[in-house]
Amino acid sequence: MSRGQLDTEVQFIKGVGPKNAMLLKRLGIETAGDVLWHLPRRYEDRRDIPQIMFLRPGHSSTVKGRLVDVRSKTLGRGRVVVQGVVEDKTGVVNMTFFNQGYAAKHLQKAIGQDIVAYGQVREGYRSQLELHNCEWEAIEGGETDDFARIVPVYPLTEGLTQRVVRRAAKAVVLACAQDVIDPLPNDLRRVEGLPSLEWSLRQMHLPDTMDDQTKARGRLAFEEFLYLQIGLQLRRNEVKQEPGIAFSTTNWRKSDVAAESLSNLFTSSPSSDIWTDVRTMLPFVLTNAQKRVVAEIWTDMETPIPMNRLVQGDVGSGKTAVAACAILAAVRSQHQAAMMAPTEILAEQHYINLHRMFEPLGVNVTLLIGKLNSTQRKKAYAKAANGEAHIVVGTHALIQEGVEFLRLGLAVIDEQHRFGVRQRLALRTKGKVMPDVLVMTATPIPRTLTMAVYGDLDVSVIDELPPGRRPIKTHVKRTSDRKQVYETVRTLLEEGRQAYFVCPLIFDNEKMQAQAAEDLYYRLSNEEFKDQSVGLLHGQMKPQEKEDVMQAFLNNTVSVLVATTVIEVGVDVPNATIMVIEDADRFGLAQLHQLRGRVGRGQAQSYCVLIADPKSSEAQQRLQILAQSHDGFVIAEEDLKLRGPGDLIGTQQHGLPDLRVADLVRDLTLAEQARKSAQTLLEKDPGLSLPDHALIKKAVLAQRKEEALVSVS
Ligand code: ADP
Ligand code: MG
């Protein structure tokens, strides 16, 4: 490979060849440049090479010595063990391989040579030290890439070896790292104290020290955050520059609110119509937190700058009522409102609720979801277009082509984490003038993260639950207690209650998740609860089937519902008072909390049982947090403390572009630094039109394209 050729096809890189090139292609690696960006997953410090007598069982070590013998043994049931005996001046250790027939052949060839190996040291038969399933190689000419240094460990695919990727990465770094053009201008790097891209990529693949690697990683993470923040801030600015609608809430609000303290906003007896409306509409008094958030929303709505506000509120904090108040302000100012929810079940629930609230006010609410037949759909379309529908509630059906509004003034998006950024924007485009946008989410993100994730939105938090809620009693149980748990469920069923069973979440694999739910469904409906009506709900079912079983659960014709995490969002069946979560340790705490929010919706005491056999005391402790706390934010923060990054923030859940290096949880300081840096940069160059910023602009635009592809999970 000659210098300067980032476009060189991988098969021409030293030690790769056509066969490995095929494998690399599976990882999306086609060129030398791709190799450079295929970053290690982790590192093994193999610099320290202890003499054999100092090896300690339980630790991973590098071993150097002479391979003096190779032995094979057949154990019971055709299992084969191959051992290579390695010696140095101080002792003997056996490299042990199970069921790897080819290992023997490979080892035979190296007998008598010096080798290096890296693996876990264990104590074998008769206290003989062993290296289990280690990596090893014969030392030729005293040089080795895979040992005696900090060795990168790369993501692989079947058939591909670490050694091939390491060689390729080293070759590419040495030949082309210098050809990489740094998108970050020198000035910016100096101000932020960041190393160059070339140096950073070099240190990622061939770290001199772990400190250097950390610094390199930090630089790459910063760059990702910078693009993300620039994207968010640009969007924020774009929206705010458009002329929006100033809703005519000013008059009544000025006269009433100024005169009264916020806390009795809704309890006093104001003269204005809207106050009467609010009291007619809601069967309860808003909590203080709800009042504060409604006031923030109304203040936004009064100004002609388009609102772009996020309402964060824990499960059950009453976001729907807050949305209803915003909608009220819009319809009272002769504008239409649209409310979009991620599932048909949820959209229908909102429709029922809003219809109940607004009917007495003479406000029309129309439902628009995928399952409407063509006559119904045409009718809904017509009502939205001619203004007969004041409020349209629906799923993504709302953002389809052909849906038009006469005067859309407010777009509400519920459970925003289920939508991509693009879908949020798509609803906005349905207005002739830029409508106000209110997005609502229950995903408990530690407050400190909000800015990094939702940089383009203003944020309101509902940090209080309506009064009189009975906290859900949460218990952590072992699988051996299952029988007892089922007895408890049975007791509640006999009292006429309903129950949820939730199956483990297996990331990225909806099929396996469905399988787990089907298995549990089969067992419960044929054994433990065969006298009950058991239903099944998972993501692989047809929409109609899902609807049917949900409807049956709502009517209480199904009393036990076995489900995957599809029920995580919004489902409201107050008669369901117990949830049993299987393999609970496989879920993130935040998600468990979200799931648990499906019970405890009525007056009766509700229960959540987490079944798991956690292997570590840390995992046990994690689950205990749920038993002790009901505050989504506290739970998210605790999860963060205990687990670090992990699955708290799945980026795809937020419709954010994938972050290759950066971690929204671990790299919070960097994210904050990047946010400020983005701000400074945009103040200087709002359109990113300076030549120095050309590559940054390109990256930000590419990121936008990627976002467009993010779809509903
Ligand atoms: P979420 O924030 O999870 O979307 P909802 O809007 O579905 O919560 O509200 C949960 C339940 O609490 C609903 O049954 C709703 O009627 C009730 N609720 C909301 N606000 C209040 C309040 N201020 N007082 C009493 N009940 C309330
Ligand atoms: Mg809700």
Residue-wise pLDDT for 226-255, tens only, equals 998 898 888 888 877 888 898 876 444 433
pLDDT at 225 over 60: yes
CA–CA gap between residue 611 and residue 133 (Å, rounded)? 34
pLDDT at 78 over 60: yes
pLDDT, tens digit, for every residue of 475-504? 999 999 999 999 999 999 999 999 999 987
- Which residues lie with the beta carbon below 6 Å from any ligand 1 atom? 284, 286-287, 290, 313, 315-321, 442, 466
pLDDT in the model for residue 603? 80
Ligand 2 centre to CA of 349 (Å) is 9
Q: What is the mean pLDDT of residues 413-439?
A: 77
More confident of the two residues 4 and 176: 176
245-281 residues labelled b (16+ CB within 10 A) or e (exposed):
bebebeebbeebbeeeeeeebbeeebeeebbebbeeb
Which H or E run includes 105?
helix 101-110
Q: Give the closest ligand to the alpha carbon of residue 346.
A: 2
pLDDT, tens digit, for every residue of 613-669? 988 887 888 899 999 988 887 887 777 666 544 444 443 344 455 678 887 767 878
How many residues make up the chain in this entry? 713
Ligand 1 centre to CA of 267 (Å) is 17
pLDDT, tens digit, for every residue of 322-372? 999 999 999 988 899 999 998 787 888 899 889 999 998 889 999 999 888
Of 298, 296, 300, 305, the residue nearest 329 (C-alpha):
298
Among 128-137, 374-383, 526-535, whose mean pLDDT is lowest?
128-137
Confidence bin at 586 (pLDDT 50/70/90):
confident
Q: What is the mean pLDDT of residues 417-443?
A: 77
Confidence bin at 418 (pLDDT 50/70/90):
low
Is 674 within 8 Å of 228 (Cβ atoms)?
yes
Ligand 2 centre to CA of 664 (Å) is 25
pLDDT, tens digit, for every residue of 16-37? 999 999 999 999 999 999 999 9
Q: Give the closest ligand to the alpha carbon of residue 312.
A: 1
pLDDT in the model for residue 392? 97
Confidence bin at 258 (pLDDT 50/70/90):
very low
Q: Give the closest ligand to the alpha carbon of residue 294.
A: 1
Ligand 2 centre to CA of 323 (Å) is 10
pLDDT, tens digit, for every residue of 269-303? 334 567 778 888 998 999 999 999 999 999 999 99
More confident of the two residues 101 and 685: 685
Closest atom of ligand 1 to CA, residue 319? 2
Q: Give the closest ligand to the alpha carbon of residue 322.
A: 1
Which residue's CA is minimally distant from atom 20 of ligand 1?
318
Closest atom of ligand 1 to CA, residue 315? 3
pLDDT at 414 over 60: yes
Ligand 2 centre to CA of 570 (Å) is 5
More confident of the two residues 581 and 127: 581
Ligand 2 centre to CA of 322 (Å) is 10
With the most atoms of ligand 1 within 8 angstroms of its CB, the residue from 266, 320, 346, 440 to mutate is 320
pLDDT in the model for residue 456? 74
Ligand 1 centre to CA of 315 (Å) is 9
pLDDT, tens digit, for every residue of 638-648? 776 665 444 44
Closest atom of ligand 1 to CA, residue 414? 4
Ligand 2 centre to CA of 414 (Å) is 7
Most confident of 98-112, 381-395, 502-516: 381-395
Which residue's CA is minimally distant from atom 17 of ligand 1?
318
Domains along the chain? 1-43+151-176 (1.10.150), 48-148 (2.40.50.140), 215-237+656-712 (no CATH), 260-302+318-441 (3.40.50.300), 473-629 (3.40.50.300)
Which residue's CA is minimally distant from atom 25 of ligand 1?
466
Confidence bin at 265 (pLDDT 50/70/90):
very low
Ligand 1 centre to CA of 68 (Å) is 74
pLDDT in the model for residue 59? 87
pLDDT at 445 over 80: no
How far lies 47's CA from each of 61, 119, 207, 658, in Å? 9, 13, 12, 33
86-95 residues labelled b (16+ CB within 10 A) or e (exposed):
bebeeeebbb
Ligand 2 centre to CA of 313 (Å) is 9
| CB-count exposure of residue 464 (10 Å: 0-12, 13-18, 19+) | middle
pLDDT in the model for residue 569? 63
With the most atoms of ligand 1 within 8 angstroms of its CB, the residue from 263, 267, 284 to mutate is 284
CA–CA gap between residue 470 and residue 508 (Å, rounded)? 35
Of 507, 454, 513, 476, the residue nearest 646 (C-alpha):
507
With the most atoms of ligand 1 within 8 angstroms of its CB, the residue from 293, 310, 317, 412 to mutate is 317
Q: Where are the beta strands (DSSP E) in 99-223?
A: 114-123, 129-138, 150-153
pLDDT in the model for residue 568? 63
pLDDT in the model for residue 22? 93
pLDDT at 552 over 80: yes
Closest atom of ligand 1 to CA, residue 317? 2
Most confident of 158-172, 233-247, 509-523: 158-172
Of 411, 350, 249, the residue nearest 572 (C-alpha):
350
Ligand 2 ion: nearby residues, β-carbon < 5 Å:
319
Which residue's CA is minimally distant from atom 24 of ligand 1?
466
Closest atom of ligand 1 to CA, residue 572? 7
Ligand 1 centre to CA of 466 (Å) is 7
Q: What is the pTM of this model?
A: 0.66
Q: Give the closest ligand to the alpha carbon of residue 314.
A: 1
Query: What are the structure tokens assigned to 504, written together?
Result: 């483990």
Closest atom of ligand 1 to CA, residue 320? 6
Which residue's CA is minimally distant from atom 9 of ligand 1?
318
What value does the mean pLDDT of the chain take? 84
Ligand 1 centre to CA of 169 (Å) is 55
Which residue's CA is minimally distant from atom 14 of ligand 1?
601
